[in-house]
Amino acid sequence: MHTYRLAAAAQLLGVSDDSVRRWAEAGSLPTTEDPDGRR
């Protein structure tokens, strides 16, 4: 599975960063965390 940074995912999908963030927080997009706890 490919992983994307928030801004890259937003650009790929043609939406704003905020839209991707909302979708991730709602569980509509899968997320992963790095060792520091960042998604």
Range 26-33 contact pairs with CB under 8 angstroms and sequence separation of 24 or more:
32/3
Q: Could you tell me what percent of the chain has a pLDDT over 70? A: 100
Enumerate residue ranges in the chain where pLDDT < 70.
Answer: none
Distance CA 16, CA 27 (A): 17
The DSSP secondary-structure symbol of 31 reads -
Query: DSSP alpha helices (H): ranges in the chain?
Result: 6-13, 17-26
Return the structure tokens found at 3.
Answer: 């992983």
